[in-house]
Amino acid sequence: MNAMQSLRVKSRAHHRAWHDQVLDIVADLPEFSGAYQGTNKNYEILAVSDSPSAENFEKDFVHDSDELILYFGNADSLNDAIERIKKVCPDLEVTHEEIASEDWNAPWKAAFRGIDLPPYWRIVIPENASQSDGGGTLQKIIINPSMGFGTGTHPTTQLCLEAIGALGDLRNFSVLDFGSGSGILAVAAALRGARVTAVEIDEQACESAQESFLLNGVNDKIILKNRLDEDAGVAFDYVIANIISSVLKDYVNQLVQFTKPSTGIILSGLLHEDIEEIEALYAEAFFNRHRIRRIPKINRLDGWCRLVL
């Protein structure tokens, strides 16, 4: 496993503005993987990146923290971050080091203990897999937290899980999960009975997804692929894509080609300002393919949006 690059940023200004400013400076770097804050070893989980967008990071800060730890997948992104921070915030103290990826994982794994997402899901770590399922009302998804991939804490993941849960029994239905990441959405659909094709290009994410499938006993219901076009000519009952808006724009025609007139499309990874354009693109592409106009449904959570067509 490749080494991660860590960047330690320190300030004597004990207010949340400087944390926000630093995250905004580096958030669009392609290999920015996440951040922790704290002093010495007392870190609090701050963010784990699912997409290169400043708004993707939960800024739940300790106000008197004087330290921010940033993580990058390679030295180029780290060096870009150093240059940006020194230019915009010259008073901050910046140091860096190379660390093993598994060392980065440790505090994140320790911090995540699971989450309830009523009315449908309870996400648990393997150690808690035997715990109660909320009186029988919540279906458990077992996730082993891993670097940079979804555990259900991000609003876009929660919006998609809610949509999948609302579909009910998915036996005899097929689902395409594009940009599968940790596989949490594919697992949810499979637990509801669907046959799932999950598409993910990141090798490390694929490893995480395969583990998720095994932990949840649904590996026989999910096919994991690294290319979308391997299923050319196949139409799914549902197409799900929780990924950044630029990718949704680029893949609109490819994703719609996997639909039929009755296919439901669930899209997230969208901010409020993305909705109008993405809605228009997918509605038009769907009409061009099937001559059917769909009425979109939009739901919002913490500044993020889900579009259902």
Residues 269 and 205: their CA atoms lie apart, in Å, by 17
pLDDT tens-digit profile, the chain (309 residues): 456 677 778 776 545 567 778 878 887 787 777 776 543 333 333 444 443 333 333 333 333 457 777 878 788 888 898 999 899 888 888 888 776 555 555 555 666 678 899 999 999 988 888 876 656 789 999 988 754 456 788 889 999 999 999 999 999 999 999 999 889 999 999 999 999 999 998 887 888 899 999 999 999 999 999 888 756 678 999 999 999 898 999 999 999 999 999 999 999 989 899 999 999 999 999 999 999 999 999 999 988 999 999
**Long-range contact set of residues 295-302: C-beta below 8 Å, sequence gap at least 24:** 299/159, 299/162, 299/163, 300/272, 301/155, 301/158, 301/159, 302/155
| 11, 70 Cβ separation under 8 angstroms | no
Cα–Cα distances (Å) from 106 to 95, 113, 138, 145, 151, in that order, read 21, 13, 28, 10, 15
The model carries a pTM of 0.71
Asked whether the beta carbons of 212 and 142 are under 8 A apart, the reply is yes
Is 83 exposed, middle or buried, given 0-12, 13-18 or 19+ CB atoms closer than 10 A?
A: exposed
Between CA 27 and CA 35 the distance in angstroms is: 10
Q: What are the residues facing 242 on neighbouring strands? A: 268
Cis peptide before 119 (omega within 30 of 0): yes
How many C-beta neighbours within 10 Å does residue 151 have? 24
Q: Using CA of residue 91, residue 31, residue 158, residue 249, what is the dihedral sign?
A: positive
CB 192 within 8 A of CB 168: yes
Give the phi and the psi of residue 250 in degrees, each rounded to 5: -65, -30
Structural domains for the chain: 3-109 (3.30.70.260), 151-308 (3.40.50.150)
Task: Give tens-digit pLDDT for 189-243.
Answer: 999 999 999 999 888 788 889 999 999 999 999 999 988 875 667 899 999 999 9
C-alpha closest to that of 184 among 159, 168, 166, 201: 159
